[in-house]
Structure 1
C-alpha cells in the first residue's frame, strides 16, 4: 500500500491497552523513543495487532506544535 504521508517510521509494538472504544498502542521506534497512538478497537482487531509486531507509524498532520 502506498500512502501520501511522508512521515513513516518503522517500529515494534511494545504494548496494547484496550479501552471501551479506543485502545492505546505504544510503538518502540528505536533510540529509546516510543510513539503512542490511540486507535479504535475495531482497527486493532482488523490489523490483528499484537505485542512484538513490526509496524509502521504514519504521521499525517496539518499542524505540528512545539512548546517549551
Structure 2
C-alpha cells in the first residue's frame, strides 16, 4: 500500500529524532523541517519491522477524532 492510498489528510515529512523503546510500545519522536516534533506511540514490533532509527526519514500520518487542549 502506498502513502497516497491512505486516507489521512495530515501528513508531516520528517526525520526520526529519538526512539524510547519499551518492551511492548515505543515512543518515536519525528522532527519536521520547520522544527515541529511529532511523537508517535507504536508497538516496538512495528519499530523493528519498519527499520526505524534516529536519522531515518519518515512520513508521520496523523488521523484523530479528538484533540484535547488545556489552558496554561
| TM-score normalised according to structure 2 size | 0.85
> Where does structure 2 lack aligned partners over 5 or more consecutive residues?
none
Match of 2:53 in 1: 50
Residue 21 in 1 paired to residue 14 in 2?
no
> Where does structure 1 lack aligned partners over 5 or more consecutive residues?
none
Q: Please provide the CA RMSD for this pair.
A: 1.1
4+ residue runs over 4 A deviation: none
> Normalized per residue, which structure has more strand?
1
Match of 1:66 in 2: 69
Q: Paired residues, what number? A: 68
